[in-house]
Amino acid sequence: MGSSADASSGRLRLAVIGAGMGSGPHFKSLHDLAAEAEVVWVHARDAARLAAAQLSHGATQTTRLEDILEDASVRAVLVLTPPNTHLALVQQLARAGKHVLVEKPLEIDLARAQSLVQVCESQGVMLAVMLQHRLRQAATSLRALLNAGELGQLVSASASVRWWRPQSYYDAPGRGTLARDGGGVLMTQAIHTLDLLLSYTGLPARVMGLASTSPVHTLEGEDCACALLHYADGAMATVQATTAAYPGFPERLELNGTLGSASLEAGVLQVAFMNGQTLSVGGLQDSGGGADPMAFDHAAHRAVLKDFIDAIRQGREPAVTGRSALAAQQVIEAIIASSRAGTPVGLPALSS
């Protein structure tokens, strides 16, 4: 990958597609990173929504996607639109030679997500994903411990996402639908914690899942899901996800190994080693688990964006690659399939 920086300023010239609710932390992050990246265009189909967006200084509003595709100075694009629009947009951007950072999930189902990854790979452009929990301080510290073998062999794990959303959240057009979002709590909320778990453990060999819609909400997708993940080496993990747990609680991830145990909750890592030592890393963070889905600090978003910018400049892979993000979508699809069939579902290795 060649240099993508503006020769006159040294800043990466990029564009943003999408100016809805989820764009806020991205724009805040881009403001913080103004010395490294210049937002040239901000695109949305809805001119009224575009006018209300918190635009970066100097950015030009447009409702024409062609303005971005035809601007050779724009080397990277943030795609912040609903999941069902990602594939078509990324296909056009990749063929125009633009590096892409896409909001989670990659797409509404695994097949479309794989197509999205493949088009970026075939066109030789970078694909990063906003699964920002991976770059929180506590999460990166835990990854370092696991890579060093300090917890030993994985025995069991658990991921719990007990969040709350009022019905008004699901009353928004398209929210929680299969056609636009690809489902409910698994694809929209729990995907962050599930992705983090899988980034530590790898893919399970099989999944047993249950998913349903509780009496608390009316939506097409699920607002409650549970799963048992079974790994080839005998380790197992449980997953609990809901948006029907009032008033909402911090997500929690636990890993139990042969040399100690670790827990991540609300941005804090706690580790107890069998030799008697303990470790605490990080600080309390809100992640939007209550009625306000945007009630969280944007530091982790900023970390993913900075890594994306640095990866383009350095010609390396980003920390959260599109291909690595397929794992969470594969497991989510397996949980839903298992729930429908009432039997475990095996997870074949994805072809590269």
Residues 6+ apart with CB under 8 A from 118: none
Instruction: Read off the pLDDT of residues 275-325 as tens digits, 9 standing for 90 and up.
Output: 999 999 988 777 677 777 666 789 999 999 999 999 999 999 999 999 999
Q: Report pLDDT for 284.
A: 74
Lowest mean pLDDT among 8-17, 24-33, 340-349: 8-17
Range(s) of the chain covered by CATH 3.40.50.720 = 12-132+303-320
Asked if 170 contacts 218 with a C-beta cutoff of 8 angstroms, the reply is yes
**Per-residue pLDDT at 351 exceeds 90:** no
**What pLDDT was estimated at residue 293?**
67
Predicted pLDDT of residue 7:
39
Torsion-angle region of 266 (φ positive above 0: left; ψ -120 to 50: alpha; else: beta): left
pLDDT at 21: 77
Residues of the chain with CATH 3.30.360.10: 134-291+327-346
Task: Identify the CATH class of 134-291+327-346.
Answer: alpha beta
Residue 8 in this model has a pLDDT that exceeds 60: no
Q: Which residues pair with 256 in a beta bridge?
A: 156, 261
- Domain covering 12-132+303-320 assigned CATH 1.10.150.530 in the classification: no
What is the per-residue pLDDT across 15-64, written as a single tens digit (0 to 9) for each?
999 988 788 899 999 999 999 999 999 999 887 777 777 666 789 999 99
Single pTM value for the model: 0.93
- pLDDT score recorded for residue 6: 42
% pLDDT > 70, the chain = 94
Average pLDDT over residues 156-173: 97
Asked which of 174-178, 253-257, 287-291, 301-305 is least confident by mean pLDDT, the reply is 287-291
